[in-house]
Structure 1
């Protein structure tokens, strides 16, 4: 139904694709993966609206293909007074009203033929979205997503995570031939992530989903498209099989590549000695031997093994402070309450020490972001921050912290950097090349914006960080780099997260929001709660071991330690079999 052949596309200051090709066919559930900023969202934009892009190559889409789309940036319309049921039924109700209106016109109109044509078109459209079974299908989808309780709620009362799932259901109800979703898992709590998994697996039809979420990748897809370093490869099968196959291929290719490089370097040395000798002695035989060696070198260069697809691409994230303070109470919250139309949090009390690393955990819509913002603003008597504590804030709404009309250079000059060179040197550590320093922030990917927020926070040298979903939009290697940076940070961290691995790898304890209050929970109890309520214990523990092994293999390859990489690969294979 969709075929892309030798497609190439570039921004003015960044190449995205070089001759990429892939196909999507009926009933394939395809995960679209790749590092932050590799061009995944742009390729989806091209598929949805090819007339707006000047690209080389061909893009073929069945002209009758109906596309459903869920953006990574779905925001609740706080003015929407319709209920969830009315919102989901909007297109269905319109068609029913149209059919009723046409039937009414038929009673008095003389142009029956034209009305009959419209009537048939409306009936066909109604049939496409399920016709008489529409309301039954809607109820099944809500049950599957565990959202039946919200059927009569107003759209304006939904949390961001709940609204994201409602958006997914709405698009699925329209029965598209191709369902496209751009990071639909971002900001979803543990319960809603399971609901999204259920919705994806229940969908009958072709699907293309951008995600970095390992849980969805492992449980939802039968085809993988991987975009990296301007190239693309496709794999028919599960993500677990693809990732293991990719690692084995990388080990084989990199070993061959290093051997090729060594052979080429050896022949280059021989040619240099022969050239020097021929110039000094003028011997004909030496000249002929030199020409032969040069032709041999050309053949070696021509058949040189290509560097393995997807070299490890991990930004060096640092979180630094110039003002480390001795252990003391950095933040105290006393009888804090928050709410809008209804109370979200009531009489909340807790304190955080100057070296504590803490995660706020709770379902979507329970007031986590409201609390973090109020701590950052520090304008209520219920919140006390020690005078030695400097606070920096990362927002899930990236435009709150970054001026998206700025270039990267302007953003950091505004933040106190003095020169172009200072900015260029600093951001190069975060994987932003020099040629991108004048790129507009609005043109960055969601993951790149989060990396830029982290770079800006680190530059502030604050000794207390408030992080609202810091791993959102980040690829797996960037998530792991952030975990390492948090572990090394010498100040206090209070972060909102729904990422299980970031929580267990980074924090000392969690603050759990339940029943409009907060209670402190140690990590052992937190794990037990997650195992009991949301995810299988064995799966989570094996997946953590898999992730660690994959990173060790990547590091071994970077260090050209192939024997260790092979041994680790055997460990990984045994672990995969236990899943």
Structure 2
């Protein structure tokens, strides 16, 4: 239904795509992945409204293809007194009212032909989107997502995550040929994330979903589009199979690279010998032989395989500490309470020691962010911060930490860097190189803004980190780099996250919000609870074995032991079939 051939597009300060081609066909559920700032959202904008963009190449969209869109940052007019049911059914209710109005007009009008034509057009439109069953279909969707309790609530009373799910349902029920969703998973708690997974997997139409969420990537989608370094790669199959294919290619390319390097070194020795001979033997044939060898070496260098999708460069995230604190309590929360229209948290008591890494887990809208912000501000009677503590804060509301009107350079000069050259050198570790450092923060993607926040947290050298949804908008490569930085960090971390993988891979234990208070839970029990609720019985063991095999393969590749790597890959392939 959609065909793109040799499409190229650039902004004045950045080239985004160079001759990319791909297709989207009926029934495909396609995940759209790529590092932050690679141009995924812009490509979606081009698909949605190609007339706005001056691009080269061909874009063919079936003229009958109805496209709908779930925005990365959905907005709703908070002044409207609209219930969830009315919001989801807005298009159906509007048509239903129009049909009723036409029928009323028919009772007194003399121009029946025009009204009958108008009536039939409205009726056909209503039928084409399944209008006869719209109330039943809305109820089914709400039940399917376990959100029937929201049906009669005002949309303005929903959490951000709940509203995102409601928007997904609304667009799905309009029966589009293609539904495009830009990071629909951001800020969803695990229950709502699971509901989104079920909605995606049950959807009958074509989907294009920008996501970095490893849970969704591993459990949804039958096609992958990967955008990287101005190129795009199509893969028909599951994400887990795509990663396996990348690993196989990586082994093959590294084996070729090692063989090529050995050949280049051999020719280097030959060239050195020919040069030595040429210094005391000036025969023309000797000079021609030397030039031929040099040209051959240049060709070898030129045909080194470039694989932009195989080995993506991870940012160098590192959380250092200026002042390490010995094993002592750094944050003490005693009988904390928070309420807005209703009581959210009550009688909350916990303490964080100087090297604890702790996740706060709970549904959307239960007061987690308010608690973290109160700890950061340190002006609440129930919260005590150790006098030797320096706190750094990453906010899910990026404008709370970053000034949109600043350029990247200005933001870090404001943060205490002395010179622009110092900022440029530092930011290159986080993937910000060249002219991008002169861009306004307002122009950056959500992932790039979160990366800036991580860079500011790292530069602070704080010994306590408060991280509110740090993986939101981050690509999977950066998520893995962040997990490694958390693992190596010598201070304390208190993190709000709905990213299951970041929690189980980096935290010592969790604080679970339960019945308006918080209780401590071991990581082993937390894993068991999540897996028992959402995975098959053997999934945890198989996934742990998969991770162990992948680590062994990485070690084999470091030792250039390609035979062992291939044996391990065969084992991994058998295990992946079980997942």
Question: What's the offset of the Cα at 1:303?
Answer: 5.4
Distance 2:107 2:558 in 1: 77
Question: What's the offset of the Cα at 1:270?
Answer: 4.6
Deviation digits for residues 159-196 of structure 1, max 9, x if unmatched? 22211111110110111110111121221122111111
Question: What's the offset of the Cα at 1:288?
Answer: 5.0
- Report the TM-score, using the length of structure 2 for normalisation: 0.93
Q: Secondary structure at the match of 1:311?
A: coil
**Could you tell me which residue of structure 1 aligns to residue 530 of structure 2?**
530
Q: Secondary structure at the match of 1:437?
A: helix
Distance 1:328 1:276, change over 3 A: closer
Deviation digits for residues 503-544 of structure 1, max 9, x if unmatched? 122222211101111111122222232233333453244334
Q: Secondary structure at the match of 1:325?
A: coil
Q: Secondary structure at the match of 2:538?
A: helix
After the TM superposition, which of the residue ranges 423-432 and 372-381 deviates more from structure 2?
372-381
**Could you tell me which residue of structure 1 aligns to residue 82 of structure 2?**
82
Distance 1:273 1:9 in 2: 49
- Given that residues 229 and 308 in structure 2 are in contact (C-alpha distance below 8 angstroms), is that contact kept between their aligned partners in structure 1? no
- The answer on 1:47 being equivalent to 2:47 is yes
Distance 1:563 1:300, change over 3 A: same
Deviation digits for residues 475-502 of structure 1, max 9, x if unmatched? 2222122112112222221111112222
Distance 1:411 1:480, change over 3 A: same
Q: Secondary structure at the match of 1:127?
A: helix
Distance 1:552 1:422, change over 3 A: farther
- The answer on 1:463 being equivalent to 2:460 is no
- Given that residues 413 and 419 in structure 2 are in contact (C-alpha distance below 8 angstroms), is that contact kept between their aligned partners in structure 1? yes
Distance 2:371 2:250 in 1: 45
Question: What's the offset of the Cα at 1:388?
Answer: 2.0
**Could you tell me which residue of structure 2 aligns to residue 148 of structure 1?**
148
Question: What's the offset of the Cα at 1:445?
Answer: 2.2
Please list, as runs of the form range in 1=range in 2, the aligned pairs for 1:203-218 lying within 5 A after superposition: 203-218=203-218
**Could you tell me which residue of structure 1 aligns to residue 371 of structure 2?**
371
Distance 2:522 2:363 in 1: 18
- Given that residues 32 and 224 in structure 1 are in contact (C-alpha distance below 8 angstroms), is that contact kept between their aligned partners in structure 2? yes
- Given that residues 84 and 150 in structure 1 are in contact (C-alpha distance below 8 angstroms), is that contact kept between their aligned partners in structure 2? yes
**Could you tell me which residue of structure 2 aligns to residue 342 of structure 1?**
342
Distance 1:155 1:355 in 2: 41
- The answer on 1:263 being equivalent to 2:263 is yes
- The answer on 1:516 being equivalent to 2:495 is no
Q: Secondary structure at the match of 1:403?
A: coil
Distance 1:415 1:527, change over 3 A: same
**Could you tell me which residue of structure 1 aligns to residue 117 of structure 2?**
117
- Given that residues 406 and 440 in structure 1 are in contact (C-alpha distance below 8 angstroms), is that contact kept between their aligned partners in structure 2? yes
**Could you tell me which residue of structure 1 aligns to residue 177 of structure 2?**
177
- Given that residues 249 and 310 in structure 2 are in contact (C-alpha distance below 8 angstroms), is that contact kept between their aligned partners in structure 1? no
Distance 1:4 1:306, change over 3 A: same
Distance 1:256 1:349, change over 3 A: same
Please list, as runs of the form range in 1=range in 2, the aligned pairs for 1:113-262 lying within 5 A after superposition: 113-262=113-262
Deviation digits for residues 234-279 of structure 1, max 9, x if unmatched? 1112222222122112221332244345435654665676578668
- Report the TM-score, using the length of structure 1 for normalisation: 0.93
**Could you tell me which residue of structure 2 aligns to residue 442 of structure 1?**
442
Distance 1:559 1:11 in 2: 42
Deviation digits for residues 131-156 of structure 1, max 9, x if unmatched? 20111111111111111111111112
Please list, as runs of the form range in 1=range in 2, the aligned pairs for 1:410-449 lying within 5 A after superposition: 410-449=410-449
Question: What's the offset of the Cα at 1:425?
Answer: 1.3
- Given that residues 228 and 308 in structure 2 are in contact (C-alpha distance below 8 angstroms), is that contact kept between their aligned partners in structure 1? no
- Given that residues 228 and 310 in structure 1 are in contact (C-alpha distance below 8 angstroms), is that contact kept between their aligned partners in structure 2? no
- Given that residues 102 and 119 in structure 2 are in contact (C-alpha distance below 8 angstroms), is that contact kept between their aligned partners in structure 1? yes
5+ residue gaps in structure 2?
none
Distance 2:380 2:304 in 1: 65
Distance 1:328 1:274 in 2: 68
Question: What's the offset of the Cα at 1:130?
Answer: 0.6
- Given that residues 212 and 475 in structure 1 are in contact (C-alpha distance below 8 angstroms), is that contact kept between their aligned partners in structure 2? yes
5+ residue gaps in structure 1?
none
Distance 1:291 1:418, change over 3 A: closer
Distance 1:127 1:111 in 2: 25
Distance 1:114 1:267, change over 3 A: farther
- Given that residues 247 and 310 in structure 2 are in contact (C-alpha distance below 8 angstroms), is that contact kept between their aligned partners in structure 1? no
Distance 1:36 1:176, change over 3 A: same
- Given that residues 466 and 495 in structure 1 are in contact (C-alpha distance below 8 angstroms), is that contact kept between their aligned partners in structure 2? yes
Distance 2:405 2:551 in 1: 36
Number of residue pairs aligned between Structure 1 and Structure 2: 579
Deviation digits for residues 443-478 of structure 1, max 9, x if unmatched? 222222112101101112222111111111222222
Deviation digits for residues 216-251 of structure 1, max 9, x if unmatched? 222211111111222111111222222212211222
Question: What's the offset of the Cα at 1:564?
Answer: 5.0
Q: Secondary structure at the match of 1:184?
A: coil
Please list, as runs of the form range in 1=range in 2, the aligned pairs for 1:62-73 lying within 5 A after superposition: 62-73=62-73
- Given that residues 250 and 308 in structure 1 are in contact (C-alpha distance below 8 angstroms), is that contact kept between their aligned partners in structure 2? no
Distance 1:440 1:551, change over 3 A: farther
- Given that residues 223 and 235 in structure 1 are in contact (C-alpha distance below 8 angstroms), is that contact kept between their aligned partners in structure 2? yes
